[in-house]
Amino acid sequence: MTAQRFKKILHAEDDPDIREIARMSLEMIGGFEILQCASGEEVLKAANDFAPDMFLMDVMMPGMDGRESVRQLRQSANFAETPVVFVTAKASNVDVDQLKEEFEAAVITKPFDPITLPDQLKEIWSRMTPEPAGS
């Protein structure tokens, strides 16, 4: 995987209040370009055109949940290695470990801190996208 600039986040969250808090955090504090979707189905429709650097996915959404969305995204060569960060209120150690193991993903628990969310994602990005040798 080649190192690239981290700028675009596709965010999936069914709760409009949480979407708005995340949007303000990531755009205003983090300087990211954000595309937000209210469902997993919307994510699948929007991903190719938006070409995100990272997916920020709510786990529990009506219809297609975050897990199934990522399973389907991973079938595309375009997103097979795109970093995924799940956001979940159901944060038992077992649930978190399952997400990390199945999807090679990071996990942030709700409620998240909107002030520190951009820095958390930047730190996760640096862990998930190592610099190429000789950089």
Question: Looking at the domain assignment, is residue 1 inside a domain?
Answer: no
Q: Which two tokens stand for residue 17?
A: 């209040």
Number of domains forming the structure of the chain: 1
In the chain, % of residues over pLDDT 70: 92
Neighbours of 104 (CB within 10 A): 12
- Where residue 107 sits, what CATH number does that domain have? 3.40.50.2300
pTM, to two decimals? 0.90
Neighbours of 37 (CB within 10 A): 24
Question: Looking at the domain assignment, is residue 132 inside a domain?
Answer: no
Q: Which two tokens stand for residue 127?
A: 């862990």
Range of the domain at 19: 8-126
Average pLDDT of span 65-86: 95
* SS3 label, residue 106: strand
Question: Looking at the domain assignment, is residue 61 inside a domain?
Answer: yes
- Residue in this structure with the two tokens 């079938």, named with its chain if needed: 75
Q: What is the pLDDT of residue 97?
A: 87
Q: What is the pLDDT of residue 1?
A: 39
Q: What is the pLDDT of residue 91?
A: 67
Question: Looking at the domain assignment, is residue 96 inside a domain?
Answer: yes
Question: Looking at the domain assignment, is residue 85 inside a domain?
Answer: yes
DSSP 23-37: HHIIIIIT--EEEEE
Cα angle: 32, vertex 35, 41; to 5 degrees = 150
